[in-house]
Amino acid sequence: MKKEVFYLLIFMILTSMACKENKEMRKPQPPVAKKIPKELSIHGDTRIDNYFWIRERENPEVIEYLKAENAYTYSVMAHTKDLQKKLYDEIVARIKQDDESVPYKKNGYFYYVRYEKGGEYPIYCRKKGSMDADEEVMLNVNEMAKGYAYYQLVGLNVSEDNKLLAFGVDTVSRRKYTIYVKNLETGELLPDKISVTTGGSTWANDNKTLYYTTKDPETLRSNKIFRHTLGTEQEKDKLIFEEKDETFSTFVYKTKSKKFLVIGSESTLSSEYQIANANDNKPEFKVFQPRENDLEYSIFHFQDKFYVLTNLDAKNFRLMETPDTKTLKENWKEVIPHRTDVLLEDVDVFQNYLVLSERKNGLNQIRVINQNNESDYYIDFGEETYSAWTTTNLDFDTDILRYGYTSLTTPNSVYDFNMKTKEKTLLKRDEILGDFDPSNYEAKRLYATANDGTKIPISLVYRKDKFKQDGNSPCLQYAYGSYGYSMDPYFSSVRLSLLDRGFVFAIAHVRGGQEMGRQWYEDGKLLKKKNTFTDFIACSEYLIEQKYTNPNKLFAMGGSAGGLLMGAIANMRPDLYKGIIAQVPWVDVVTTMLDASIPLTTSEYDEWGNPNDSVYYEYMLSYSPYDNVKAQDYPNMLVTTGLHDSQVQYFEPTKWVAKLRAMKTDDNLLLLTINMDTGHGGASGRFKRYKETALEYAFMLDLLGIKH
C-alpha cells in the first residue's frame, strides 16, 4: 500500500510538472533578434552594435521581425482586448463629434474648422462678411483622405484676393508634403503640384506667385526657398535662397502688415532673417541682421519699424525696435529691458497696445502695455497652475486680444479680451460629454528638490473622491525636458480615464525645458543633460516620500526626446517604477548624432553636442540609453514607434528592445508596438490615435489588476 501511495505521489508531481511545462510552452514567447556584430569606432573607442542590421528598412527580414514584435505584443495583451475597447469607447464618448472652432476674421471672411459626427478629419470652411452668410466649404478632409491609411493636411493659405487656397498633404507620415492649389471660386484643383516640401507656403501680393520651402530628401532638413508661378512646372521654379549651413533650417512667411516677405534661418542658438517688399514682382531679399553665434532674434513689422525680440546681451530676451530701413543691430533701441526673473517669449503688436507673452516662476503671463501712456497690467487667470497663450490676432487697429487658456481641471478655452475695459468674453470652452464636473478634481503645484538643491516644479491633478494621500494611489508621471520646450499644465479629457480610476497625474517640469527661464534650458542640455534625468528621478522620489504613490504603482511616460528620458531613468533607477511607457523614444544617442545622413542630426549639435568631439562623445556615451543597457532588472515596459518616423527612426526603439531582451534579468513585460502605416505623430485622424492610447492605458491598468 505504501508503494502505491509513493507511485501515486510521483505520478502527481510529474503530471504537475508537465502541466506547468505545457503552460509555459503556451505562454507567448517574444521574438529574438539575431546578432550581427558591427564595430563602431571613434576616438580610440570601439562599440559593438549587435543590432545595427535592423536599420535596413528594405530588408524583408527586418519587416518580418517588426511584424513578429507586433504579433507578440498583440498576443500578450490579448486578454485586455475588452478593456482596451472600453477605454477607447469612453475616451471617444467624451468628445463632441459635431464640433466647431471659434471663427476668426481675415480679409473680409470668417474662417473656422468644423467636425461632423463620425468624421475622422476636419472640414475647413469660411463665410463672407458675417457668420450669417452661406457656408463655403474649402476642404473636406474626410473626402480627401478616403483610401489612405494615413492622411495629414497642413499649411492652409488663402491668396490676398481670396480666390486661391494652397495646402500641403502627406500620405506616408514622413513629413514630406506635396503642395496643391485649389480655385475657391470654381472648386477645381489646379495642375500645380510641388513635392518634397514643408507643406507651408506664402503668397506674394500679386495672387499668382507662391513661395515655399523644400526639404533635403534624405536628411529632411528644410534647406531651400523657391518662387513658383502658377501654371508652371516645379522644375522651372526659381531658387531664391539655399541654406548651406547644415546646422540651420530655413522657412518663409509674410509679415502681419503684409508689406514684407521674410526668409528665416534658424539653428538651435542662432537666427538670421532676410526681408523683401511683398509687392515687388521679383523682390530682392536683404539680410536684416547677419547671423552670429549665440545671437537669436525674431522680427515683427508695424508701420515704419520692426520690433525685435532678441537675446542680445539678454539671456531671458528683451524687446527692441528699429526703422524698417535701418535694421542692423547697431540701430536697435530698447523697448522692454531684460529681466533675470522673467522670460520674454513672444509679442503681439497692435495700434495702441503691445502684448507680451512672458514666463515667471514657471507660469505663463500675458502683459498688456498701452503704447499711448505706457501703463501696463497682467491678465488675471485665477488658478494655481495653468497655461495661457495669445492666439489668432490678425488686426492691428483693435482693442480686442484673443487668447487661449487651459489648466489641469479646465478644458481648452478661447477668450476675447478688451484691452481697454479689461472685460473678458468666453467664446468657447471645449465641451466634455458625459458627467464631467471640474469641481471633482484638484490641481496642485509642488516642488521636489534635485541633487544639487534646485527646486523642480511638479504640476499634479487627481480626482478628489478617488484619492487619499496614503501612498497607495497609482500615479503616471510625465515629462519632456529638451529643446527649451516648456511642458505647461493642460487639460485632457482622455486623461479622465485614469483620474476616474484613482490615478494621480503629474507633470515634472525638469531642466531642459524653459519653464523657469532660459537658464532652466541651459542647465539641461549639452554637458548638463543628465540634470534632466536626475530631476525626473527626484520628482519620483518626492511623490513617493509625500505619499502620493509608491514604487509598485508609479508609472513614467515620455515621448521622442522625452523617450530618451525614459530610457535613461530605466537604466539609472529601474526600482522606482512599476512600468515605463516610452513613446517613439530617441535612445541610440551616440550612433545617431554621428550619422549626418539621419534627419535632424546636424541641426542639433547645439542641443546635444557633436560627438565627433571626444568630450561630447564621452558624455553622450555615459547616458545614451541604448549604450547603457546592462544585466539588471527593468520595470515593465511598453515601447512604441512608427515605421515611417522621420524624427526618431523606427530602428532606434527596435534595437533598444532587442538589446533589453538579451540582457535584462527579470520576467517583467517588455512590449514593442510598431505602427506600420505612420510616423512620429502616430495615427492620423481624430479618433484612430486613441486606440494607441487605449493600449497604453490598458498596459498600466492590467499591471495594477484593474480589469474595468
Give me the active site residues, please.
560, 645, 680
Spatial CB neighbours of 416, under 8 Å, sequence gap ≥ 6: 400, 401, 402, 424, 425, 427
> How many other β-carbons are positioned within 10 Å of the β-carbon of residue 520?
25
Residue type, 484: G
Cα Rg of the chain, angstroms: 27
Measured in degrees and rounded to the nearest 5, phi and psi for residue 22 equal -65, -40
Looking up cell 524687446 gives: 319
Kind of pairing between the strands at 579-583 and 636-642: parallel
CA pair distance 116, 456, nearest whole angstrom: 43
Find out whether 221 and 246 touch, Cβ atoms under 8 Å.
Answer: yes
Q: Measured between alpha carbons, how far is residue 652 from residues 52, 581, 627 in Å?
A: 9, 15, 11
CA pair distance 301, 324, nearest whole angstrom: 8
DSSP string, 510-554: -BTB-TT-HHHHHTTSGGGTHHHHHHHHHHHHHHHHTTS--TTTE
Rounded to whole angstroms, the maximal C-alpha distance in the chain is 111
Spatial CB neighbours of 115, under 8 Å, sequence gap ≥ 6: 97, 98, 99, 100, 122, 123, 686
List of E strands, 184-259: 189-203, 209-215, 222-229, 238-242, 249-254
Find out whether 476 and 557 touch, Cβ atoms under 8 Å.
Answer: yes
Residue of 222, 233, 242, 240 lying closest to 603 (CA atoms): 222
> How many other β-carbons are positioned within 10 Å of the β-carbon of residue 392?
16
CA pair distance 72, 639, nearest whole angstrom: 13
Cα atoms in the 13 Å half-sphere on the side-chain side of 471: 9
Q: What angle do CA 649, 645, 574 make, to 5 degrees?
A: 60
Find out whether 181 and 221 touch, Cβ atoms under 8 Å.
Answer: no
State the virtual CA torsion across 347, 351, 352, 355 in degrees, nearest 10.
Answer: -10
> How many other β-carbons are positioned within 10 Å of the β-carbon of residue 219?
19
Looking up cell 481641471 gives: 409
State the virtual CA torsion across 182, 186, 191, 195 in degrees, nearest 10.
Answer: 10
Residue of 480, 479, 474, 460 lying closest to 551 (CA atoms): 474
Q: Measured between alpha carbons, how far is residue 655 from residues 93, 123, 660 in Å?
A: 37, 40, 9
Here the cell at position 554 is: 508609479
Find out whether 306 and 326 touch, Cβ atoms under 8 Å.
Answer: no
Find out whether 611 and 620 touch, Cβ atoms under 8 Å.
Answer: yes
Residue type, 547: K
Looking up cell 472648386 gives: 187
